[in-house]
Structure 1
Amino acid sequence: MIRVLIVEDDPMVAQLNKRFVESIEGFKVLGVASNGEDALMFLKNNLVDLIILDVYMPKIDGLSVLKEMRKKFIKADVILVTAAKETENIDEALKLGAVDYLIKPFEFERLKSSLENYLLRYKLLQSKNTIQQEDIDRITKSSKIQNDAPLQKGLHRATLERIRGFMKKNDKESLTSEEIAEKVGMSRVTVRRYLEYLTTTEEIKLEVEYGSIGRPSHLYKYNRR
Structure 2
Amino acid sequence: MSTSLEIKVLIVEDDLMIQRILTEFLKKIKGYTLVGVASDYVSAKNFIESTAIDFVLLDIYLPGGLGIDLLKWIRQQERAIDALLITADNRSETLEKAMRFGAVDYLIKPFRFSRFQEALKRYLIKKAQLHNKIMMDQENIDQLMRLNQNLTYEESTNQTFESIMVFLQKNGNQSYTSSEIAKSLGISRITARRYLEEMENDGIVVLELAYGGVGRPKNLYRFLGGRNEN
Please report the TM-score for the alignment, with normalisation by the length of structure 2. Answer: 0.63
- The answer for the alignment partner of 1:37 in structure 2 is 42
Please state if 1:87 is matched with 2:92.
yes
| In 2, Cα distance between equivalents of 1:84 and 1:55 | 8
Amino acid at match of 2:36: G
Which position in structure 2 is the counterpart of 1:75? 80
Offset, 1:104? 0.8
When residues 151 and 135 of structure 1 are mapped into structure 2, their CA distance, relative to the original with a 3 A threshold, is: farther
SS state of the match for residue 151, structure 2?
A: helix
Structure 2, unpaired ranges of 5+? 1-5, 162-230
1:154-173 equivalent positions in 2, closer than 5 A: none
Give runs of ≥4 in structure 1 deviating > 3 Å: 149-153
Q: Deviations over 1:152-194 (max 9, x none)?
A: 99xxx9xxxxxxxxxxxxxxxxxxxxxxxxxxxxxxxxxxxxx
Identity %: 35
Residues in 2 aligned to 1:134 and 1:15: alpha-carbon distance in whole angstroms? 40
> Counterpart of 1:28 in structure 2: which amino acid?
T
Correspondence for 1:100: 105
- Does residue 12 (structure 1) correspond to residue 17 (structure 2)? The answer is yes
Change (3 A) 1:39 1:107: same
CA distance in 2, matches of 1:143, 1:99: 8
Counterpart in 2 of 1:61? Answer: 66
Equivalent residue, structure 2, for 1:119: 124
SS of structure 2 residue aligned to 1:85? coil
Change (3 A) 1:50 1:121: same
Give the SS at the match of 1:97: coil
Which of the residues 23, 27, 32 maps onto 1:27?
A: 32
Cα offset for 1:75? 2.1
Aligned counterparts of 2:26 and 2:112: Cα–Cα separation in 1: 13
SS in structure 2 at match of 1:144: coil
Aligned mates of 1:151, 1:92 — CA distance in 2: 23
Q: TM-score, normalised by structure 1?
A: 0.64
Give the whole-Å Cα distance in 1 for the aligned partners of 2:151 and 2:110: 19
Secondary structure of the equivalent of 1:79? Answer: strand
